[in-house]
Amino acid sequence: MTIKSKLYEIIFESDTKAGKLFDLILLVVIVLSILLVMLESVPSIENKYHSLLKFLEWGITLIFSLEYCLRIWIVSKPKVYIFSFYGIIDFLSILPSYLGLFFVGTHGFMVIRALRLLRVFRILKLNRYMNEGAIIIKALKQSRIKISVFLFAVLTMVVIIGTLMYLIEGAENGFTSIPRGIYWAIVTLTTVGYGDISPSTALGQLIASFVMIAGYAIIAVPTGIVTAELSKPNKALPSGKVCGNCLSEGHNLDDQYCRFCGAKLL
Amino acid sequence: MTIKSKLYEIIFESDTKAGKLFDLILLVVIVLSILLVMLESVPSIENKYHSLLKFLEWGITLIFSLEYCLRIWIVSKPKVYIFSFYGIIDFLSILPSYLGLFFVGTHGFMVIRALRLLRVFRILKLNRYMNEGAIIIKALKQSRIKISVFLFAVLTMVVIIGTLMYLIEGAENGFTSIPRGIYWAIVTLTTVGYGDISPSTALGQLIASFVMIAGYAIIAVPTGIVTAELSKPNKALPSGKVCGNCLSEGHNLDDQYCRFCGAKLL
Amino acid sequence: MTIKSKLYEIIFESDTKAGKLFDLILLVVIVLSILLVMLESVPSIENKYHSLLKFLEWGITLIFSLEYCLRIWIVSKPKVYIFSFYGIIDFLSILPSYLGLFFVGTHGFMVIRALRLLRVFRILKLNRYMNEGAIIIKALKQSRIKISVFLFAVLTMVVIIGTLMYLIEGAENGFTSIPRGIYWAIVTLTTVGYGDISPSTALGQLIASFVMIAGYAIIAVPTGIVTAELSKPNKALPSGKVCGNCLSEGHNLDDQYCRFCGAKLL
Amino acid sequence: MTIKSKLYEIIFESDTKAGKLFDLILLVVIVLSILLVMLESVPSIENKYHSLLKFLEWGITLIFSLEYCLRIWIVSKPKVYIFSFYGIIDFLSILPSYLGLFFVGTHGFMVIRALRLLRVFRILKLNRYMNEGAIIIKALKQSRIKISVFLFAVLTMVVIIGTLMYLIEGAENGFTSIPRGIYWAIVTLTTVGYGDISPSTALGQLIASFVMIAGYAIIAVPTGIVTAELSKPNKALPSGKVCGNCLSEGHNLDDQYCRFCGAKLL
């Protein structure tokens, strides 16, 4: 086993102990790098610890660069890795630091490192988390058409309500344009309610009341869709034994005998 | 096949390729016309691109007018189309432009074009979206009585709470009238919470706390109603076994005998 | 049949045509009386239409007084009616008008008339609304213990979080006392979010973030409780036929044969 | 039976009448002590009733101290109690009063007494509340992996959205740092919406609209998870048929044969 294949196992796979440890350390470094970008954006901290933060940032950039080069070196088809989803994220997460040497204002893009957090899903792939996550994603996928229809209906509502409020309230009450009215309608219908724009006329408040109560009832729809999907007995996953005698399905994994014909389940 | 019947197929139906294309183009023009109305309402954009926006608006108005005349010309019973739901919307969506030549202030009504978006449902009628949408609508219909009872209870609560707060807080804290108190109660119970009116007295904040916690628990009711409805096994869709004797559908997978004719299910 | 017993049928019962009509008219008058109280509380309307509103108010008060006297006259046991739930509400809804002759400030209490709206449930008792309402109330009743436990947990959380924020943010950021901190915690946890008090320190905002995400997850609990209850097959209602042969239950009302033994269902 | 063992029964257990009474009185005193801490934090009340509040506080502190000493005296292994969860809370709830004699600023910590409220669960342990609470906790436990995956996804979203808004809106619109942007993203996604920070630019409001609609759809996920869990037939509770052969429980009402031993179910 060459060093290269050994490194491959450690860096790209996570079945071995060393591979798991590598992934865990990487995850910690990613989290640290994100915290660092956050701290750098806080003026009071940035002013006080400027040199330390800069030092740490370059440290992490070098670690990420080294890791990126290693990955390119050890994979058999570097191009496939470079243009893969994770390859592009890995590249983009080191780019801003180097660009920052020549340009200003690229610093904020360093937050793209947050996308590296998605790597956590690879690390978790070996255990229950992935299965449970898959159930959620499957439920969302299966309800995507229902949710699209729902979102389309909501968007149409929001356009009509937003324009209505623009006509009723007018610019003097903060509804300066139709897009702003639509923004208000979304803020209200989703029950966020910032209060940066709120109706002042009696008619506007009456319509707002209807919108709010509608929003209250409407929130039931996506919840109902996802819940109904999650509550369905999951047929796709190996859901229990099949009776060898009567071929009935749907037995629990701890069932010993067929519920329908009484034959022993294998 | 005359031109008229050919045009009928293209404009009114959407089974043929040409018909689908027509519907798609129409949809894009509708979306563009709505975006245009929005942009015209933004003062800064309107001032800068006044002539261009006006030009585009008249272009779209002419397209819609042409389409409207075509539809009247090719249907066998024009009156039925003109007074149908879509016929009225089609008419109303071109009216404001022409009225704008004689009156001022009718411009905002052009947003009625947003209602033409509903046409998307006709285009989608051939595919899965319609079925899934139908399931949502069916669930909402079947739960309409429960939701009415719920909304009635909420409205009674809101009237009583709104008045109570008007009595407690009074005009000096923004609760200038009972309708305004009710408006506050709706804003609070639906968890929107603009903050344009909020209780200032200790007693008012105590009652507000109860209202908020009640709103938190109450939101469970419509969600529960819709979810329960959506979770019900859908009898209308062909599911489970089909009876070989009477060809009835909808049997559960674990049913042994036909529920309708008593024949043994295979 | 005496006039008294005839009036009894009309006023107290709602099975006859005249009884239904009486109830409907009463309901309309109640709604009008509530609208009147609301309008009187709006300063601009009150100033303009003072005499008209006063006239209408006394008209409605007289109608309600007459109805109250009639009810006392025609029931066989007046005391039972007077001290019944509806009797007390009927009395309280005419009291403020008369008290207003001698005292000031009693006017707002006239809103107690809103409680008369509950009478709508009596009118609805003959139709489906009552059944569906009963299902909701039953589901809420059966989940009342779960909801109590949940609310108790929420209240404990809210007390602890509110105090914590009082200690962290202090009076200078609007958290002037522990009750005010608790009020903020409720406003935040229920996702109402007025914004009249909001954290200003970094630590306060961090804790607020946790509270909000917790509130986001916690809202799932009451919804889940009520939904689970509403989704349960309702055993109490006549839920289908019982097989006379194998005594199996749970057949649908439209089933003709037993699903388990194939015997004809009666 | 010695006094010590009798006291043990009263103070530590709650099966006897005296034990229940003791627990109930203790609970009332705990609630009173919390109300007292709250009232002391309100400047206007504190100024007016300073002596009375101080007197009551010392009274409750003495009661708690006495109870704490009693508990240590009567248990057979004092160390186990002292370092148990409840032992530590009991100690911490009397500490601030005594510390207040020597230091200032420790007063607020007295709110730790709120944790003593958890004792209510011990009192409730004998009745239905505990069972129902256990069902909720079980459902939350079984969905903890799904909820963790969900929260992780939400946190990643929030970090990316918060940074994006920091870059777009900038310090002049209140997004002074990335953590502040993340705080805004949480406030928005959870539909709390204080309005202390809200987007001012057109692009910012567009993104905010997407975040709000996403938050609206996302709230369906935890609700769906918990509801699906709570809706599952509870295997732990005796439901359905019991096998006459192996006495196993939890068979469905329509099962014909025991799932565990294959005996025909009656």
Supply the CATH number for residue B54's domain. 1.20.120.350
Does the pLDDT of residue A237 top 50, yes or no? no
Phi, psi of B217 (to 5 degrees): -75, -35
Closest residue on chain C to D231 (Cα): C228
Which pLDDT tens digit goes with each residue over A84-132? 888 888 888 888 888 877 776 666 666 677 777 766 666 655 455 667 7
Hey, what are B141's tokens? 């219909």
Residue D175: CB partners within 8 Å, gap ≥ 6? D165, D166, D169, D181, D184, D197
The per-residue pLDDT for D236 is: 42
Chain A residue numbers touching B189 (CB-CB < 8 A):
216
Amino acid present at D43: P
Which pLDDT tens digit goes with each residue over A152-171? 888 888 988 998 898 888 88
Smallest CA–CA distance, residue B1 to chain A, in Å, is 37
For residues C92 and C8, state if they share a domain: yes
Does the pLDDT of residue B239 top 50, yes or no? no
Domain that holds residue D13: 3-125
Hey, what are B185's tokens? 């109660």
Q: Which residue has the higher pLDDT, B261 or C170?
A: C170
CB contact under 8 A, D195 and B191: no
Average pLDDT, chain B: 80
> Does any domain span residue D175?
yes
Cα C229-C158-D129 angle, rounded to 5 deg? 40
> Does any domain span residue A248?
no
Using the Cβ of D260 and the Cβ atoms of chain A, whether some distance falls under 8 Å is answered with yes
Which pLDDT tens digit goes with each residue over C118-138? 666 666 554 556 677 777 788
> Does any domain span residue B204?
yes
For residues A112 and A154, state if they share a domain: no
B185: left (phi over 0), alpha (psi -120 to 50) or beta: alpha
Output D88-96 pairs: Cβ under 8 A, ≥24 positions apart.
D89/D115, D89/D116, D89/D118, D90/D64, D90/D116, D93/D33, D93/D64, D94/D61, D94/D64, D94/D65, D94/D68
* C-beta of residue B243 within 8 angstroms of C-beta of residue B251: yes
The ipTM, to two decimals, is 0.76
Of A125, A154, A185, the last residue of a domain is A125
Query: Which CA distances in Å does C184 have to B157, D143, D195?
Result: 23, 29, 14
Chain A residue numbers touching C192 (CB-CB < 8 A):
193
For residues C66 and C165, state if they share a domain: no
Q: Which of B193, B194, B227 has the CB atom closest to D227's CB atom? A: B227
Smallest CA–CA distance, residue C216 to chain D, in Å, is 6
CA distance D178 to A38: 5
Of A66, A93, A125, the last residue of a domain is A125
Q: Which of B163, B182, B217 has the CB atom closest to C222's CB atom? A: B217
The three state secondary structure string of chain C is: CCHHHHHHHHHHCCCCHHHHHHHHHHHHHHHHHHHHHHHHHCHHHHHHCHHHHHHHHHHHHHHHHHHHHHHHHHCCCHHHHHCCHHHHHHHHHHHHHHHCCCCCCCHHHHHHHHHHHHHHHHHHHHCHHHHHHHHHHHHHHHCHHHHHHHHHHHHHHHHHHHHHHHHHHCHHHCCCCHHHHHHHHHHHHCCCCCCCCCCCCHHHHHHHHHHHHHHHHHCHHHHHHHHHHHHCCCCCCCCCCCCCCCCCCCCCCCCCECCCCCCECC
Domain count, chain B: 2
> Does any domain span residue A173?
yes
Chain B residue numbers touching D195 (CB-CB < 8 A):
194-195
For residues A85 and A196, state if they share a domain: no
Lowest mean pLDDT among B236-240, C44-48, C168-172, D112-116: B236-240
Smallest CA–CA distance, residue A128 to chain D, in Å, is 8
For residues C21 and C79, state if they share a domain: yes
Phi, psi of A164 (to 5 degrees): -55, -45
Using the Cβ of B254 and the Cβ atoms of chain D, whether some distance falls under 8 Å is answered with yes
If one counts every other C-beta atom within 10 angstroms of the C-beta of residue C61, the result is 20
For residues B39 and B110, state if they share a domain: yes
Q: Length of chain A in residues, anyone?
A: 266
Hey, what are B116's tokens? 């033409």
Lowest mean pLDDT among B235-249, C60-74, C251-265, D166-180: B235-249
> Does any domain span residue A225?
yes
Closest residue on chain A to D185 (Cα): A192
For residues A113 and A212, state if they share a domain: no
CA distance A120 to B78: 63
For residues B111 and B196, state if they share a domain: no
Of A125, A157, A174, the last residue of a domain is A125
Name the pLDDT band for B254 (thresholds 50, 70, 90): low
Does the pLDDT of residue C251 top 80, yes or no? no
Smallest CA–CA distance, residue B155 to chain D, in Å, is 23
CB contact under 8 A, B147 and A208: no
For residues B112 and B24, state if they share a domain: yes
Q: Which of D264, D198, D191 is nearest to D223 (CA)?
A: D191
List the chains bordering chain B where 3 or more Cβ pairs fall under 8 Å. A, C, D
> Does any domain span residue D206?
yes
Which pLDDT tens digit goes with each residue over A32-68? 888 888 888 888 888 899 899 889 988 998 998 999 9
Hey, what are B122's tokens? 């006709």
CA D30 to the chain's CA centroid: 17
Buried/exposed code over A57-95 (b: 16+ C-beta within 10 A; e: otherwise)? beebbebbbebbeebeebbeeeeebeeeeebebbbebbe
> Does any domain span residue D237?
no
CB contact under 8 A, D195 and A193: yes
Average pLDDT, chain A: 80
Chain B residue numbers touching C253 (CB-CB < 8 A):
none
> Does any domain span residue B99?
yes
Hey, what are C109's tokens? 């209490």
For residues B114 and B8, state if they share a domain: yes
For residues A112 and A16, state if they share a domain: yes
Buried/exposed code over B157-173 (b: 16+ C-beta within 10 A; e: otherwise)? bbbbbbbbbbbbbbeeb
Output A214-218 pairs: Cβ under 8 A, ≥24 positions apart.
A214/A157, A214/A189, A215/A188, A215/A189, A215/A190, A215/A191, A215/B190, A215/B192, A216/A191, A216/B189, A216/B190, A216/B219, A216/B222, A217/B147, A217/B151, A217/B222, A218/A154, A218/A189
For residues D151 and D113, state if they share a domain: no
Lowest mean pLDDT among A200-204, B178-182, C109-113, C244-248: C244-248
Supply the CATH number for residue C153's domain. 1.10.287.70
Q: Indicate the pTM of the whole model.
A: 0.79
Does the pLDDT of residue A249 top 70, yes or no? no
Beta bridge partners of D257: D264
Query: How is A45-112 classified by DSSP, letter by letter?
Result: HHHHSHHHHHHHHHHHHHHHHHHHHHHHHHSS-HHHHHTSHHHHHHHHHHHHHHHHHH-SS-GGGGGG
CA C248 to the chain's CA centroid: 40
Residue of D121, D184, D190, D256 to mutate when probing chain C, most C C-beta within 10 A: D190
Buried/exposed code over A31-53 (b: 16+ C-beta within 10 A; e: otherwise)? eebbebbbbbbbeebeeeeeeeb
Does the pLDDT of residue C185 top 90, yes or no? yes
CB contact under 8 A, D213 and A186: yes
CB contact under 8 A, C256 and B262: yes
